[in-house]
Each structure stands twice: as structure tokens, then as C-alpha cells.
Structure 1
Amino acid sequence: MKKEQYLEVTTTHKQSSTNTADCEEEEEDIQWSDDETTTTVTAPEFPEFNSKVQEAINFLGGNVFPKLNWSAPRDANWIALNNSLQCQNLRDIFLLFKSSDFIAHDFTQPFLQCSDDSPDPEISYELVLRKWSELIPGGEFRCFVKENKLIGISQRDYTQYYQHIYKQKDDICSSILDFFEEHVQYKFLDEDFVLDVYRDSWGKVWVIDLNPFGAVTDSLLYTWEELTSGHNLMTDETEGDPAQQDVPAFRHTTSEVTVQPSPCLSYRIPRDFVDLSTGEDAYKLIDFLKLQKSQQEESDEDA
């Protein structure tokens, strides 16, 4: 994919830290000192930005779903008190953003999967707030569009088995295809993209998000080789049926036996532990071994 496929938007980014340290429980500035100099560090404050964000949250009903330019902090819901991405103030938003690897990727490596050699464009980040809605995970679907044709639909929460999807798969596929052809097809700037939708209990389809068509987006129950080549998308029963040629492939979890843990569970583990277990950071492994050796030597001396 090319960098031009990404939307450029604007934002304000804030860093905030509050420090309280005094035996009499009084607030004061942190003092960082050494033998030569003493530096006073004052926590930054952005009252105008905080006021605008709170005003927007109140306008949207008091509860919002936050995201950055492309990613939402879905991997950080574990740190919230209610394990939810629902936010009521800027403090809740900062907590999720600071704890999310997805958000960190947007800030540090947004064009990592891009194939062209052009210089990275300057990015203006945008804080996106959406009115909070309680969505049933079994109603979310990811749609893969190639050359303005809907080629595949996947159950979004593929780690769980939903009986209603199994029973209504033909109706679900039909309603999503009708919605795509009426409201989305040929109306997006790019002809290759990924569309997330929600189908409610009345059969109405809603757009949730748009994503790049490529490895940076989770392919869920497909592989990107299948989606880019078009091979193995159809089943043996539908592959030779001319009436099925314009119908997108539809994949869903077919049995409770195939239920898997959420892929976001791994993000609850501290990054240092992950690096050690995978060997991705050799320096951390060396430091860990040095620490182990030092502790062993101290133990031998005590003995």
C-alpha cells in the first residue's frame, strides 16, 4: 500500500503528569538535582484543550469511544476499571492511549508497512471522539474490498461462536452486500480498502470504520495471500456456481470447539517480558542474564 492511502488529519496531543510528594501532603514541584545543578520541572497544563475535549464529551452524551488517526486503543481495555473503552473525561482517554501499543504504533511507525520509497509525509494527529454505543460483538463484521468489489466478509469477533450468525449467515451476507452496493461502492477515494460494519437486530447495517487494504489491518479469518490473490475464497460448493460469482465469501466461527482466547490478551503482559520471551531485544536478555548472575554470586557469598 502507498502512503497516499492514509488520511491526513489534525489534532492536539497532550502529555500530562501529576506529582504529589510531601510529608504534609502538600503539592509541590519535583526537584531533580545532582552535584552541580538543580532543575525544577513543572507539570504541563492545557486547560483550553481539556475544556474543549470535555465540551465535546458532554455534547456526545457524556460517554465516548476514543481513537487516534487510524487506531483505537482496543488493546488497552484491561487497564480500565470496568475493562471498557468507554471514556468520560480526558484522564480516561490518556490512560488508554498511554497503555496502548496500537496508539504507540500510530505515533512512531505509521508507515511501517508501506511499500513505496517516498519520504514519510508530515502527520497532524487527530483525537477522534465518537458517541458511546453498546454494540453486541456478534453483530460486527469486517468487509474486504478489492477493485471496488466486495470479495470477503469475516466475523469480527472470530474468537467466539455466535449461533445467530450460523443460522442467519445468508441473510447477513445479503444485507451487507446490499448496503455496500447502495452506500459505499465507488464512493470511496481508494478502490482497495477494508470496511468494518455493524448489523443490528433489525437487519440494518452501520459503518463503523475504514481501514487500509493490507497487512497493517487484521485479516481475521482470512489470510492476506488469499485476499490479494483471490484464491481459496470460495468453498467447493460455490466455486463452480455462476450465480455465486458476485457473492462475497463469508467466513465465521462454526463451532464452539474452535473458540480461541482474545488476541489482545497478550498486550496485558509487560513489554519487557514479551521481548525476553521472544528474544526480540538482545540487550534486555543480556541485562537479565547479568542480573541473574549477580544475584547468584550474592547468594553464594551469603551461604
Structure 2
Amino acid sequence: MALPSLSAAYILSFQFSSWYPQFSSKTIKSTIIRQLPPDFVEYLDSDGVIIPEGSENLFSAMILEDDSDDEAGEPEKRYSFPDLDAEIRQCIAEYGAVFPKLNFSSPKDASWILPAGSSLKCTSPSDIYLLLKSSDFANHDLSKDHVFEDCEEHPESYDLELVLRKWYSIDRSRECRCFVRKNNLIGISQRDLNYYDFWNDSMTQEKITLAIKEFWLTEVQPKWDFSEDYTFDFLLTRDLLRGHIIDFNPYAVRTDPLLFSYEELWDLYQSGGSPALRVIDSRAHPAANTNAPVHQHNMIPFEAFSMSIGRDIDEFSKVWHEELNKSMQDE
């Protein structure tokens, strides 16, 4: 398998602020906040689910913060980001609602922590903080060691950025991941690994492949001057004739090749020809999602978060069972 070597400059070309200015007209309207509070990273990396003071809405106010002292008798540190709260609220007022990400990663693995059906929809600063603190994906962006893992060198400086993207309900069935190797579009994969009838119609497949190739030739290839190897996520319109960019990612093992392997993609590059399209062709497909929730490894009940703060496993177990019994008696 031949993959490009990773450098800090290569990885940084995929952070949101690097590519958004060139592709702002072909992607979701977004706001980048770079001057974050000095202790913002400390807050995101701290234990417990604590909402910064002044950022709450009615939903997040339900979170039970731990008011008890720690083992040394010292109170937990409280956080407050009034200036950042104001910037976020201004952006929400402009967009109606937002979904957040950091330099590279969105907290989609933590979407379960917001009200059911909201799908990352944030209407207050506290929604954003709650998502980011609960996400393993977002945590990746906090440390240079994680971001530049396997790189030949690390940059001298790396600054966290908060990205607020205009929220709207995305039909994930129309999302694709596209693979470009040595400036050749070689593969297109269905991104949501569920079975959909329309993906398996031969004429529709041809239409999708042609639409994506045309978009890449006219809108991506002339503007993407960072490297010859990259991937981009693409959302097709309802008529499957057009679309817009969701994100760019490195052409590297850290980026999920979905229905391909990187060995297969290398073979496709060497063979040349039109880009290959991979889809879930039956409900029995080995890669097809089951009924289990996506990112289920990162899910625990919302109430468990609030009850677990400041308690060891035995204390938490006792309190959790007491609450369950109380709930059953109330019913």
C-alpha cells in the first residue's frame, strides 16, 4: 500500500481555516473563532460535564453539577467564557442555529447528548460546550501529539479554533466520500453505510458519478493547491445533479476509507480510468449498519453523566440504582 508521507504542513492544510476561504461559496456558511480563552483547552480536557457559568439554556441547566469538594477539600474549578459566549450567541442569532467543530473534527459521536432529533443543532453556547466535552472525536484536536501523530515533525505552534457552521438537517443518504490520489479522482464511497434503493439503480449510479466528477473538475481541482492527495466529503442535492463540500480530510490511514481499502484505492490509481463508485448493495452487505446506534461506544445515559461527577464506581452504582428504584415507584 502506497500512502503519502505525513508532514505538519500537509496536516495543517486540512484544518478548517486553511481551506474554507477558497471554498466558502461551495460549502456550508461558517464562522471561525480563533482567539479562544486561554483556559478553554483546559476546560475541554477537564473531567466531568461542567457547563461554564452564564452559558446555560433551559436544557443544559438540567445538568447537575457536582458541588462537593474533591479529596483534598478544594472546590472544583469553575469556568466562565463571557466574551466567547457573546460571539457564539451573535453567530446563532445570524444563522438561527449552528453545529460546531474544532480545527479538524466535529463532535458527531456525541450527538446523542442533545435532545432527541436535534442532530448537533445548537442554540446556545452551553449546547456547544456540552457536545465538545462529550466527544472523543473533538478531543483529538486538543493535543499536538494527537493531531500530528505519525508526522515527520511537529509545528512550533498549534492554535485551537472553534468553527460554527450554519445548521440545517442533512440527509445523510446523499453524502459521499471522494478519494483523490496524485491529482486523480479514483474512488467515491457512499458515506452513510445503510442500504438505500436509489444507490443501486445503474442509471442513478452513473448520474452521481458524473455529477461528482464534474464538480471536482470545475470546483475542487483548480482551487485545491495544497497537495496531490486528499479526500473530500460531498453532499448531493435532491436531484443528485449538484452538491456542496462538507469537509476535506488527509489521504491517510486516519481517514476512514469506508467501502474501500487503501490497497484497493492504490490499485484503482494504477489502473486509471473513471472513478469507482462503491455502495451498500444489499441489506446483507458485510459493511452495512445494523440497528445498533452509530458511535454506541461513546453513549451512556445523560443522567449518568450528572450523577457520576465526583463519585467513585461504588458510590455511582449506589446512587444510580436508588434513582432507578425511585423512578419505578413514581411510575
Q: Is TM (by shorter chain) over 0.5?
A: yes
Shorter-chain TM-score bucket reads: 0.7 to 0.9
Is 1:58 equivalent to 2:93 in the alignment? yes
Is the 8 Å Cα contact of residues 51 and 126 (structure 2) preserved in structure 1?
Answer: no
Aligned counterpart for 2:113 among listed residues 51, 64, 79: 79
Cα distance in structure 1, aligned partners of 2:191 and 2:247? 12
Is 1:268 equivalent to 2:273 in the alignment? no
Q: CA deviation at 1:33?
A: 8.0
Equivalence map 1:33-112=2 (5 Å): 39=74, 43-60=78-95, 62-83=96-117, 84-108=119-143, 109-111=145-147
* AA in 2 matched with 1:125: L
* Identity between Structure 1 and Structure 2 (%): 33
Paired residue secondary structure (1:66)? strand
Q: Return closer, same or farther for 1:18/1:107 CA change in 2, 3 Å cut-off.
A: closer
* AA in 1 matched with 2:296: L
* AA in 2 matched with 1:198: L
Cα distance in structure 2, aligned partners of 1:18 and 1:134? 27
Q: CA deviation at 1:6?
A: 2.5
Paired residue secondary structure (1:6)? helix
Paired residue secondary structure (2:176)? strand
* AA in 1 matched with 2:208: I
Q: Which of structures 1 and 2 has the larger relative contact order (alpha carbons within 8 angstroms, sep 6+)?
A: 2
Q: How many residues align?
A: 247
Cα distance in structure 2, aligned partners of 1:100 and 1:41? 21
Is the 8 Å Cα contact of residues 177 and 191 (structure 2) preserved in structure 1?
Answer: yes
Is 1:207 equivalent to 2:253 in the alignment? no
Equivalence map 1:277-288=2 (5 Å): none
Q: Return closer, same or farther for 1:166/1:64 CA change in 2, 3 Å cut-off.
A: same
Q: Return closer, same or farther for 1:249/1:64 CA change in 2, 3 Å cut-off.
A: same
2:213 match: 177
Equivalence map 1:4-43=2 (5 Å): 4-7=9-12, 10-12=34-36, 14=40, 15=43, 17=51, 32=69, 39=74, 43=78
Higher-Rg structure is: 1
Cα distance in structure 2, aligned partners of 1:46 and 1:260? 40
Q: CA deviation at 1:54?
A: 0.7
Q: Return closer, same or farther for 1:65/1:230 CA change in 2, 3 Å cut-off.
A: same
**TM-score of the pair, normalised by structure 2:** 0.67
Q: CA deviation at 1:221?
A: 0.5
Equivalence map 1:162-201=2 (5 Å): 162-167=196-201, 168-188=204-224, 189-201=226-238
Paired residue secondary structure (2:281)? coil
What whole-Å deviation, never above 9, does each CA across 1:194-227 have from its counterpart, x for those lacking one? Answer: 1100111122211111111101111100112222
Q: CA deviation at 1:247?
A: 0.9
Q: Return closer, same or farther for 1:136/1:186 CA change in 2, 3 Å cut-off.
A: same
Could you list the runs of 4 or more consecutive aligned residues of structure 1 that deviate by over 6 angstroms after TM superposition? none
Q: CA deviation at 1:45?
A: 1.7
* AA in 1 matched with 2:217: E
Q: Return closer, same or farther for 1:190/1:247 CA change in 2, 3 Å cut-off.
A: same
2:47 match: none
1:2 match: 7
Structure 2: gaps (5+ residues): 1-5, 18-33, 44-49, 54-65, 302-312, 314-331
Cα distance in structure 2, aligned partners of 1:157 and 1:93? 24
Is the 8 Å Cα contact of residues 113 and 215 (structure 1) preserved in structure 2?
Answer: no
**TM-score of the pair, normalised by structure 1:** 0.73
Paired residue secondary structure (1:256)? coil
Is 1:219 equivalent to 2:257 in the alignment? yes
